[in-house]
Every structure is written in C-alpha cells, then in structure tokens.
Amino acid sequence: MSTKPKDKTDIATGLLLMAAAAFFGWQTRTLEIGTSLRMGPGYFPMVLSGLLFLLGALVLIKAFGREGEPFGKIAWRGMAFILPAPVFFGLTVRGLGFVPALFLAALIAAQASSRMKPLYSLLLAIVVTIASTLIFSYGLGLPFRRFGPWLQF
C-alpha cells in the first residue's frame, strides 16, 4: 500500500465521470455539430461531454493528497433483488398480465431483506397484488390486461 493519502471514493467518482463523458462524447461523433449560428444536434452534447470530462478530471486530481471517508457497507443483497423486480415486471407484464407479473415482482423484491421469512413474503406478495389490482385496475381503471396471452389456454 502506498503511504500517500488519497480519497478512494473521489478517485472512483472522477474516473466514472470521465468514463461517462467519454461515452457521451463517443456517441456524439455521429451527430452533426453545426455552427454556433445554427447548432446541429451534436453541438450542445459535445460541449457538455467536454465539460463533464473536465469536471471528472478535476475531481480525480483533487482526490490525491487527502484522506477520504470509508466507503461503508454495500447493500449487495438489496441490489440483487430490488433492481430485478421492476425489470421482471417489465418483461412479463405484457405476456403474463398485470396480476401474476406484479405478484412475482413483489415476491422478488421481498427477498431483499435477510429478515423476511419465505412464507411471510409469499403472504405479503399476495396482499400487495390483491390490493394493487383492486386500486389500480378496478379503482383507477388503468388499462392493464389482468391476465396476459401467456396464460390463455
């Protein structure tokens, strides 16, 4: 380990910002830049990408020479179950329909806590599904198919 102090969080931030800027900048290359009188679709994004890269670089430079705060715990389990829930809902809401897709999404999200017992999560998902179907589908009349084509026999 080096003995020089550096703020690891800010090093990561700076590098990520520069990477994001590079990504946007790279995407801009196919867009027409235009002139400052008649700006093309690429003009403003190009300026912003450059600015973001510069800011990222500044954050990175300033990260050296000082100690950062610790990164803290990371909610791995939370991420593993919370983030897929809406994705799963999106993938299945057309095919399975609103009711089963919501039930499964809620069940997935419920697994994010280490304190949730399996039976309890099942119960919770059922309650959430029934309540949401009553409120959103019947109550507010949102145009969702309750059971989709995958379940039609």
Cβ pair 137, 101 in contact under 8 A: no
**Torsion sign across C-alpha atoms 89, 90, 92, 94:** positive
Burial track 132-148 (b if 16+ CB lie within 10 A, e otherwise): bbeeebeeeeeebbeeb
CA-CA distance, 115 to 117, in Å (whole number)? 6
- C-alpha angle 83-116-73 in degrees, rounded to nearest 5: 55
Query: Which CB atom, from 6 or from 116, has the smaller least distance to other proteins?
Result: 116
Position 141 contacts other proteins (CB under 8 A)? yes
- Residue 7's closest CA among 67, 58, 70? 67
Among positions 49-78, residues that touch other proteins (CB under 8 A) are 49, 51-52, 55-56, 58-59, 62, 66, 69, 71-75, 77-78
Query: Which CB atom, from 130 or from 151, has the smaller least distance to other proteins?
Result: 130
Q: How far is the CB of 152 from other proteins (least distance, A)?
A: 20
Site string for other proteins, 3-42 (x = CB under 8 A): ------xx-xx--xx--x---x--x---xx--xxxxxxxx
Q: How far is the CB of 146 from other proteins (least distance, A)?
A: 13
Among positions 81-140, residues that touch other proteins (CB under 8 A) are 82-87, 89-91, 93-94, 102, 105-107, 109-110, 112-116, 121, 124-125, 128-129, 132, 136, 140
CA-CA distance, 83 to 67, in Å (whole number)? 32
Position 2 contacts other proteins (CB under 8 A)? no
